[in-house]
Structure 1
Amino acid sequence: MQTLLASVVDALESAWGASVRHVRHSPIVPVRENYDRLGYHHDDVTRARRYTRYVSPTVMLRSHTSAELPAALEEYAGRREVDELIVAPGLVYRRDAVDRSHVGEPHQVDLWRIRSTPATSDEDMLSMISRVVETVLPGAAWRTTDVSHPYTVGGRQIDVLHEGAWLELAECGRIHPEVLRGSGLDPDRWSGLALGMGLERALMLRKGIPDIRYLRAEDPRIAAQMRTLEPWQHVSLLPATRRDISVVVGAEEDEETLGDRIRIALGDDADVVESIDVLGRTTHDELTGPARARLGTRDGQVNLLLRIVLRPIDRTLTSDQANAMRNVIYRAVHEGRVMELI
């Protein structure tokens, strides 16, 4: 992952002739830095406790490495002749679905170009996108679609064509004038570009890795492949074990919030879960009377049918172990008055 990031930074430094500054801080940040200074509204849904890991009312685990940038930009106030690439990598903390391409604590990098000129344009942004894509996935076709970020102007989502499908690689835009102004930089004199990229996704695309859990696996057959950017070599998978469960949860719950609860409950065994899919969703009102009584649902709740696929990377599971994990997951998410344990 570090090799891939270094190659992206080298490509941008070479193209621009810019200086490079690395920013690395604690992932515990003020809420103000993660949201307010980046232009998020006070009632933005992303601030909800369902999605944000608050440490206190004013402090949180950062949800994106963009939280490092407003304070970093303050260092340029009063300086002249600046053209610098700010590289801010690190872990971010989210509530996310459980499947082969998502993890609750992913690595991310923000790549922001700050310039002592107001002339940064969309052409500059497209040139940056081209360099990043070509470095991460040489020869890949790419496209952009408009997207809105509170801290950028002209935001774009970058998709790459990989094995016949369009997949998101990164998002970017020109730094919003209010973000510059909030860091003491006059937008009439300063401008720049802001790009954020998930490093797990980038590495999986580059190497053709089929399961995000492999990036942190200790199995020697897998770990040895993570030292280079050479294409992924197939490793025989252990058998999968499937368990279907019927649970009652609040109507506001989704795959992301459920995934977070499941990871926390399983602890060190979380990497055993390959995926959890919602096969069916039925509201309390849609259930028949006998079904409501059997499940113990109330107004504001839904009945979910979840499919749990357990597939350890480096060991096999007995039926009893699979059942025990099934019960841990059931207890972690089920809010009904009737328990159905194995």
Structure 2
Amino acid sequence: MLKSLTPFRQLARLYGSVLSATAALNRQQDTLTQLQQVVLQSRVEARGANSDATMLSAQIADRLADIAKRLNTVAAPLHIEGNRNIGHTWQDSAQLLASLRSELARTMPDNIALQGWNSYAQCDEDGIIRACLERIKGRTEMSGTFIEIGCGNGLENNTHQLLLDGYRGGWLDGNPRNIAFIAEQLGSLKSDHLLVTEAFVAKETVRPLVAQFREHLGTADIDFFSFDLDGNDLHLMPLALQEIAPKIICVEYNGKFPPPTNLAMAYVGDHQWAEDDYYGATLQAWVNLFQGKYTLVSCNLSGVNAFFVRDDLVESFKIYPVDQLYQPCRYWLVGNNGHRASMKWLKQKLAPLQ
């Protein structure tokens, strides 16, 4: 159900669908040509047939012509932000990312976003997360744990890769179809290495839900906490942090508004995104919320996720001004890293640990 997805995930999924449809249509140009030839041939044959057959053939030919017209229309180049073709391949996205990283290296050579890449994340979050964890290892004892609130169906999130790397964690999502898919693919929703929960997160439920993961993992000293909900994130985060003390936090921000704009949507317990710009909180709002506890160290290059490090560990990072670290929304960078994602590697990884 789209309404259970966060705004960016809805846009990302819609965008990915357009990419897939456009790529498929581009691969079917020969089929389209053949279809048009069938239309012409059908009309020719209709002229020499009896009256009933003529009418039927003409109807079929007209229907085929209509289908061909629709295919041809959909297959036309699609654009986003003026002249940017959204029918590009994943190689095009890689080139765009390389260009952005080149500029980043020039202006902020120690920005952790330079080490971004993706395996199961939307864009470059997997690499950023790994780099952040590597930076703090020498300063603190690692628990090898994570919690991800808003895990989706497990094929595209921030912590799938951590499980493959041997971390233990918890996944939560409010969409029953997502949880059913995970159960089907993995065969279980609970093991020592992964606890999966279906729940809608609100002010009344966030603390006990986070506490459930803390108890399962046996520690409040969580290494990585990903928090990506339905827009109420800024209001719920302080409650979640009453139960755990994560070293690194990843949150979604509303990239439409650069710093110092400080905006956060009003809390609505049953909020559903209206597919407009009213969702979540700006980067500045998150910085202000975390002041004195967590420090912003990077934003990913698609302009969606911000990474904060606990202040007692932040010396491992070079801190740049908020307005420099801010990245605007770049939905066309939503990653396609080649082959279709599956849960097979994770099932193999977890099987001996069940």
TM-score (norm 2): 0.21
Bigger fraction of residues in strand: 1
Give the helix-richer structure, 1 or 2: 2
Larger Rg: 2
Asked which structure has the greater RCO (Cα within 8 Å, sep 6+), the reply is 2
